[in-house]
Amino acid sequence: MTSYTREQIRASLIKILEGIRDDWNRSITVTDETGIFRDLGFESIDAVALGSTLEEHYDRSLPFAEFLTAVREQNASDITVGMLVAFLAENLNGAPLSGEAV
């Protein structure tokens, strides 16, 4: 099984996000705090596409629907890049990277 670093996951995720929302403002510096809806202009249909694209990119099934449900249950105001990186780290590597909340 391939193991991914946080930096590898973040770099791939940003490319995927850019591919889904090719009209986003490129002047935005994407950080772990960047919200995909608030800052990147995603809509709910884009989030659905994101789940499918992540599965295609990593060539495995991911519990993305469960992730979205958990975010909603936490009453989070947005899904951040950091939340997505932590989700991917847990599901790609089998455990959260040290010091990361999932």
Cβ proximity of 81 and 30 under 8 Å: yes
pTM confidence score: 0.86
Q: What is the pLDDT of residue 63?
A: 96
Q: What is the pLDDT of residues 59-89, one digit of tens each?
A: 999 999 999 999 999 999 999 999 999 999 9
Distance of CA 29 to the CA centre of its chain: 16
Task: List, in order of start, the domains of the chain with CATH numbers.
Answer: 6-93 (1.10.1200.10)
